[in-house]
Chain A
Amino acid sequence: MNVQELKKQYDGKTVVDGVSFAIPKGKVTSLIGPNGAGKSTVMGMISRLIAHDSGVVDFEGRDIGKWKSRELSRRLAILTQSNSIQMKLTVRELVAFGRFPYSGNRVTLEDQKIIDRAISYMELEGFQDRFIDELSGGQRQRAMIAMVIAQDTEYVLLDEPTNNLDIYHATNMMKIVRRLCDELGKTVILVLHEINYAAFYSDYICAFKDGKIARFGTVEGVMTKENLSQIYQVDFEILTIAGKPLSIYY
């Protein structure tokens, strides 16, 4: 996925200002940055949820706007923070919607198998007949991921997947993200607030500031004291734990 000179304005205010980057395939890339830096907007634009004003989002050799919606939904999946489900659907019914881009209304036997696999991959077998709105936040998030797995796309985009989760569930979520990439070979793009999660679990980090890319590179390249202090305007120290650069801010 290639992005060039992406721009977006809301009410005359420029939110994303000339962003260009290329997402490495088969890797985990995290978009980080302070509030209002434009990372979620960029996420929306590269997943066709938000229209861009100018620039190019090139997905697999074709402009993202030129893809047929259904075709694209077999290649790219996006989960946003607003996916809070108020409806009484069972976990299995939700996961089954992941097959919609393929089979539409007829869920085939093959689909059933894929759904089964997605559910067991997320260890949701015991919950599959429970209603989504009765689950805890962590279980619900896992059910959503199971749906994305059933959707079977090469690209998985997650907008703040650790939002509203406690440390246990958030860390598990990040481990799942890692597995999506390592075991299932997906290209994962995340928006994250927790820099240390980004540092520990991703391969590349794209740091935003004021609608522009401040730094983009490997975790080691971006996670330096100077870079982070400049982006977040607070003091940072970098520690190396388990071979990964983790930060402390104060």
Chain B
Amino acid sequence: MVLLLVASVISLFIGVIELPLQELLSGNLHLWEIFLVSRLPRLLAILCTGVGMSVAGLIMQQLCSNKFVSPTTGATISSAQLGILLALLFMPSSTLWTRALFAFAAAILGTWIFVWFIQRIQFKDAVMVPLVGIMCGNVIGGITSYLAYKYEMTQALSSWLVGHFSLVLKGRYEIVGLTVPLVALAFVFANHFNIVGLGKDFSRNLGVPYNLVLFSGLTISAMITASIVVVVGSISYIGLIVPNVVAMYKGDRIRGTLADTALFGAIFVLVCDMIGRVVIFPYELPIELIVGILGSLIFIALLFCRLKYGRRAIRLGGTGTGCCSAMPGLKGGAEQ
């Protein structure tokens, strides 16, 4: 896994429009500048995005004990976008940091409301929750678009609607670094999140304050998401797919899966980014597009394998790991 990451890093250094060959790097200040101003920030942003989005998704899934919840299907991303728009509307001269602040507040609020809502209404079917989340997200997105049209902000907003790394330059991306301490925080409280995911009574029994952990966890994951949306824009599906794929192999204990989830997320985004830059070479496709295509395919595949084979779909020799049994709620032949 680490090797794969290193390989990806190297390939990233090479495969872009201008070619700062390693040999030239030895003394060429101009190329160094490109490297420091554009390449390195881009790589860091990609890594933070991959790690951040997948960890945010992992936390949300655990806390809601629903495998279909993620920043995309939980109104977090769209709330963050609305926050940015509001910042643009009310403070046209706002800096990136003020916008980030607005995005944070909106994302946290949006996620809280969504989770509060799904907890009030106990859905029988696990699939209902992300559907409601997507609906919520679209409603918020609708408000965002309406406001954007009304105040002729669509142009400005589009940069945050479709995620891409092409605008990541030195001085414009540092906020995304916030994901690092937040992910570290998530690791510290990993067991708390696990216990809360097992239910209210379960966590009470172990002396874990349910609501406090639930909402602080959601706050962490909303902040991670918002800091990415501000810099890169919306990137769907990573938070949904990466944790699910990792859980298939590694189970649901966050302490055990957090590092893998983060790593896999980073690689996934890195690969998608490289594809996006290679496909129409001198130009590049926004990462959102690539992730969207790949992501939705994987998501559909997940759903199908879930529906077709029930709980113990994919057996991975050895310990006998059941694939989609990670997804709760749907009735399957769990017992023998």
For residue B81, CB closer than 8 A to chain A, the reply is no
Chain A residues in 8 Å Cβ range of B170: none
Please measure, in the bound complex, the distance between the C-alpha atom of A71 and the C-alpha atom of B188, giving whole angstroms.
Answer: 21
Chain B residues in 8 Å Cβ range of A68: 207
Interface centre among B197, B207, B209, B321 (most CB of A within 10 A): B207
Please measure, in the bound complex, the distance between the C-alpha atom of A78 and the C-alpha atom of B333, giving whole angstroms.
Answer: 28
Chain A residues in 8 Å Cβ range of B334: 133-134
A133-B311, A134-B312 given; A87·B197 CB < 8 A? yes
Q: Which of A86, A97, A129, A136 lies in contact with B206, CB distance below 8 A?
A: A97
**Size band of the interface chain B makes with A:** 35 or more
Flag if A93 contacts B253 (CB, 8 Å): yes
For residue B205, CB closer than 8 A to chain A, the reply is yes
A70-B207, A89-B252, A97-B206 given; A134·B320 CB < 8 A? yes
Please measure, in the bound complex, the distance between the C-alpha atom of A100 and the C-alpha atom of B189, giving whole angstroms.
Answer: 12
Please report whether the interface of chain A is mostly helix, strand, loop or mixed according to DSSP. loop
For residue B326, CB closer than 8 A to chain A, the reply is yes
Flag if A83 contacts B329 (CB, 8 Å): no
Flag if A137 contacts B335 (CB, 8 Å): yes
For residue B251, CB closer than 8 A to chain A, the reply is yes
Chain A residues in 8 Å Cβ range of B325: 88, 131, 133-134
For residue A69, CB closer than 8 A to chain B, the reply is yes
B246 CB, min distance to chain A CBs, angstroms: 11
For residue A105, CB closer than 8 A to chain B, the reply is yes
Q: Which of A88, A101, A136, A137 lies in contact with B207, CB distance below 8 A?
A: A101
B213 CB, min distance to chain A CBs, angstroms: 12
Flag if A77 contacts B65 (CB, 8 Å): no
Flag if A80 contacts B201 (CB, 8 Å): yes
Interface residues of B (CB under 8 A from A): 62, 65, 188, 190-191, 194-195, 197-202, 204-209, 247, 251-253, 256, 311-312, 319-322, 325-326, 328-329, 334-336
Beyond known contacts A80-B201, A104-B191: 18 more, CB 8 A cutoff: A47-B205, A48-B204, A49-B200, A69-B207, A71-B207, A73-B207, A83-B198, A83-B202, A86-B65, A86-B328, A88-B251, A88-B326, A89-B194, A89-B253, A93-B251, A97-B195, A97-B206, A133-B334
